[in-house]
A and B are shown apart, each in its own frame.
Chain A
């Protein structure tokens, strides 16, 4: 029977959760890199035993760890994330120019077909690429030097490039998202980029048609529909069906359209999951009830999923990289909270159970299906 491996990054280490295909009984391994902030742990779709982990701390900076045995052992690889050429400037919170300065890696995106090829999203916003399994990193500088970059401003969490989506049908096409610059697309492997923010409406921007300045929290795509993207923006849940040419709002009947993660069901491209959060200053679920909302219609019509989730006195948050789906049938859905719980559903979200309850604050959740 196949199994699943859930990779959890937390504020104080990484954890690996494993179960067989029933996804009922879980083993918890970790912490790996105890005491370090693990912004993201990701596995290679081409080789499930190849894992990459972003390890950082305010004291000792950024490291990248690599495992070739599914997380049993790790080795540090290269951590030289140098911007190409002039660093350039972006806007600081107060509107003054500020040089780009590398701070950390938020997200790692391994290639679907080459275990040694992996992309890394940085704060301050930039994208890096390694084609040798993390032994060296090169920036794709055209993004950071885009003409709009001097107008990019950080979100409250920093000016992070937090989402990287590789188009499975077109290896030259990639999508990225930056808080609070917006979403961008390349059609030539990163040589050129274009902002894809038309149709987004952000109350803090005086120009309704602003090319950049949108606080995109997360993008998600189903691999069978690479032209369709779903977005959880600061406020608003959005979708595009033309690769970002135009977005439309699909928040519909959500109790609040603020939130961080968004995910698409592995087998149903119109089934989408979000976790509504009360507001941008109240980072917890409305009424203290932790609810995942599912739309089976590609947005607009949403249903709360509550069975097995705390429905009273729950004031945790779910961060942008902390939700994932597996490819088993029925599809498994997983998310982690800032309270240290990791919840899983083995039936597409109908019912939930905690896999583990008392980890450090969860920053990221990924899942792999093992042969």
Chain B
């Protein structure tokens, strides 16, 4: 089970609590996690990444295991501790103006 933490505004939008737990079929990558997230919460489509290109929105970042994974390939495997459910995959709204 993959654990995902969303930024506050997206938690409100998706009506979820502090953490989302997802079954991810296939390799556990950013793309795989986001595919599973959007399939379960379709209202999140387009809010984290472009609906068509899959490109991460500029003011959204991805962290896990105290690493910034934002610029990693969407198809790179996520850290083992995320795969094992020991650490969450964090979707962060960048600190930028307000």
Residues of A within 8 A of B (CB): 35-36, 57-63, 76, 79-80, 82
Given contacts A59-B7, A59-B93, 9 further A-B contacts (CB under 8 A): A35-B9, A59-B57, A60-B9, A60-B48, A61-B57, A79-B45, A80-B45, A80-B51, A82-B51
Q: Which of B13, B59, B93 contacts A63 (CB 8 A)?
A: B13
* B36-60 vs A, Cβ < 8 Å mask (1 yes, 0 no): 0000000101111001100001011
Residue contact A61 to B9, C-beta cutoff 8 Å: no
Residues of B within 8 A of A (CB): 7, 9-10, 13, 43, 45-48, 51-52, 57, 59-60, 93-94, 96-97
Closest chain-B Cβ to A139's Cβ sits at a distance in Å of: 14
Residue contact B47 to A63, C-beta cutoff 8 Å: yes
Residue contact A58 to B46, C-beta cutoff 8 Å: no
Residue contact B45 to A60, C-beta cutoff 8 Å: no
Residue contact A80 to B46, C-beta cutoff 8 Å: yes
Residue contact B52 to A60, C-beta cutoff 8 Å: no
Residue contact B51 to A60, C-beta cutoff 8 Å: no
Residue contact A59 to B9, C-beta cutoff 8 Å: yes
Residue contact B9 to A36, C-beta cutoff 8 Å: yes
Residues of A within 8 A of B52 (CB): 82
Main secondary structure of the interface of B (DSSP, over half): loop
Q: Considering the complex, give the chain B residue whose CB is closest to the CB of A35.
A: B9
Residue contact A76 to B13, C-beta cutoff 8 Å: yes
The 10 nearest A-B residue pairs measured at CB: A60-B47, A76-B43, A59-B59, A59-B93, A79-B46, A61-B46, A61-B47, A80-B51, A58-B59, A35-B9
CA–CA, A352 to B72, complex, Å?
57
Q: Considering the complex, give the chain B residue whose CB is closest to the CB of A77.
A: B43
CA–CA, A291 to B43, complex, Å?
42
Residue contact A58 to B96, C-beta cutoff 8 Å: yes
Residues of B within 8 A of A58 (CB): 59, 96-97
Residues of A within 8 A of B9 (CB): 35-36, 57, 59-60
Q: Considering the complex, give the chain A residue whose CB is closest to the CB of B43.
A: A76
Residues of B within 8 A of A79 (CB): 45-46, 51
Q: Considering the complex, give the chain B residue whose CB is closest to the CB of A75.
A: B43
Residues of B within 8 A of A35 (CB): 9
Residues of A within 8 A of B51 (CB): 79-80, 82
Closest chain-B Cβ to A66's Cβ sits at a distance in Å of: 12
Q: Considering the complex, give the chain A residue whose CB is closest to the CB of B93.
A: A59
Residue contact A63 to B57, C-beta cutoff 8 Å: no
The 8 sampled A-B contact pairs (Cβ below 8 Å) are: A35-B9, A58-B96, A59-B59, A59-B96, A60-B47, A60-B48, A63-B46, A76-B43
Closest chain-B Cβ to A268's Cβ sits at a distance in Å of: 43
Residue contact B97 to A60, C-beta cutoff 8 Å: no
Closest chain-A Cβ to B91's Cβ sits at a distance in Å of: 10
CA–CA, A63 to B54, complex, Å?
17
Closest chain-A Cβ to B61's Cβ sits at a distance in Å of: 10
CA–CA, A62 to B43, complex, Å?
11
CA–CA, A79 to B43, complex, Å?
8
CA–CA, A166 to B80, complex, Å?
57
Closest chain-A Cβ to B16's Cβ sits at a distance in Å of: 14
Q: Considering the complex, give the chain B residue whose CB is closest to the CB of A12.
A: B98
Closest chain-A Cβ to B41's Cβ sits at a distance in Å of: 10
CA–CA, A35 to B9, complex, Å?
8
CA–CA, A61 to B10, complex, Å?
11
